[in-house]
Amino acid sequence: EEFTIRGTDVGYLYNVTLRMVPTDSDPSWHVDKVEVIPEGGDSNEFQIERWLNKDAPTLEAYRYNRPTRFTIAVQTTDQPDAGFDGDVYLKIVGMYGTSEETQLVNGNAAIVPGDYQQYTVSLSDVGPLDRLEVRLVATGKETKWHMASATVTNPSDGRSYVFKRNDWVEAGTTVEVPRDMPQADYKVVVVTSDVADGSYDGDAWITVYGADGRTTEVQLVLPGATAAAPAPDDGA
C-alpha cells in the first residue's frame, strides 16, 4: 500500500518507528519493509521482516545500508592465558543502526597471547561508529579471551575507529566495547519548571549524544555533594 503523509522536514533519513493498534479481528501484522520517499528525493528503504502484534505493537527500523568491506584489526593482550580457541563474532554499531553479525575467528585459527590479526569483512555501512558488540562461542578448551583492542577502518571514507577493551570477554556473553574517544568537560544547566510539585530531590543521570558518538551515563551531582550508586538499568 502507498500513503502520502505530511510532516517536518527532518533531512537525512536513517530510521523509522512504526506502530499499530491491534484489534480482536486483526491482532497482528507482518511487515516486510517500509520505503519513505521525500518529495523530490530518493527512496529510503527500511528492512523490517518482523511481526507487530498486541505484545509488540511498535518497532524501530534503520534504513538499509549497503554492504561495505571493512578492515578490522584485533589485538590480544600478552598475558599467558589471554588466548581463545573458539569462535568470535562481531557487530558494529553506528549512527544509522547495527550491522549484521559476522564471524571473525573460528576454532581452526585460534587466537594466541599477544596476537595481532587483521580481517576484511563485508558489513552494512552504519555510519560513524559508536561501539562494537563482541560474542564468543567456546568450541575448544578456552572459555574466555583477554581482548586488548580492535581498530575498524571504513575504506569508503578512510576513517578508523579504535575500541579499547583490555579486559576479559567470556564465552556465552555479548560484550559492548565503546569507541575510544577523547574526554571533554561539559557544563550542564538544568532548569526546573515552576509548575506545582515540579521539583525533585532524588538522583539524576544524563547521557549526551553527538555526531561522533555518545558519552557514558553520568550522574548530575551538585558541587560539594556525594555521588550515589549507579541507577539500575531499566532497559530504556
The answer on 170 and 112 residing in a single domain is yes
Q: Are strands 116-124 and 205-206 parallel, antiparallel or unpaired?
A: unpaired
Burial of 139 (0-12, 13-18, 19+ CB in 10 A): middle
Identify the pLDDT of residue 190. Answer: 86
Single residue among 131, 159, 178 that ends a domain in this structure? 178
Residues facing residue 28 across a β-bridge: 53
DSSP letters along 18-57, please? EE----SSS-EEEEEEEEE--TTS--EEEEEEEEEESS--
Q: Is the pTM of this model over 0.95?
A: no
Rounded Cα–Cα distance for residues 18 and 15 (Å):
10
Single residue among 178, 197, 225 that ends a domain in this structure? 178
Single residue among 151, 178, 205 that ends a domain in this structure? 178
Identify the pLDDT of residue 235. Answer: 46
Would 199 be classed as within a structural domain? no
From first to last of the 236 residues of the chain, give the pLDDT tens digit.
888 888 888 887 878 889 998 888 889 999 988 999 988 888 888 878 888 899 989 987 777 677 899 999 999 999 999 999 999 999 999 888 888 899 998 877 889 999 999 999 999 888 889 999 999 999 999 999 999 999 999 988 889 999 999 999 999 999 999 998 888 888 888 888 888 888 887 788 888 877 777 788 888 877 666 655 554 554 44
Identify the pLDDT of residue 236. Answer: 43
DSSP letters along 77-140, please? --STT--B-SEEEEEEEETTEEPPPEEEE-TTS-B-TT-EEEEEEEEE--SSEEEEEEEEE--S
The answer on 76 and 43 residing in a single domain is no
* Contacts of range 158-161, beta carbons closer than 8 Å, 24 or more positions apart: 159/128, 161/128, 161/129
The answer on 45 and 109 residing in a single domain is no
Identify the pLDDT of residue 2. Answer: 84
What is the DSSP-derived secondary structure letter of residue 158? T
Letter string b/e over residues 63-77, b meaning 16 or more CB atoms within 10 A of that residue's CB: bebeebebebebbbb
Q: What CATH number should be reported for the domain holding residue 94?
A: 2.60.60.20
Would 214 be classed as within a structural domain? no
The answer on 153 and 89 residing in a single domain is yes
Q: Which residue bears the cell 554492504?
A: 67
* Residue-range definition of the domain harbouring residue 34: 15-62
Do residues 160 and 129 touch, judged by C-beta distance below 8 A?
no
Residues facing residue 94 across a β-bridge: 97, 129
Work out how many domains the chain is built from and give that number: 2
The answer on 55 and 80 residing in a single domain is no
What backbone phi and psi angles, to 5 degrees, belong to 215?
Answer: -85, 165
The answer on 78 and 40 residing in a single domain is no
The answer on 74 and 49 residing in a single domain is no
The answer on 159 and 81 residing in a single domain is yes
What is the DSSP-derived secondary structure letter of residue 156? T
Identify the pLDDT of residue 113. Answer: 96
Would 143 be classed as within a structural domain? yes
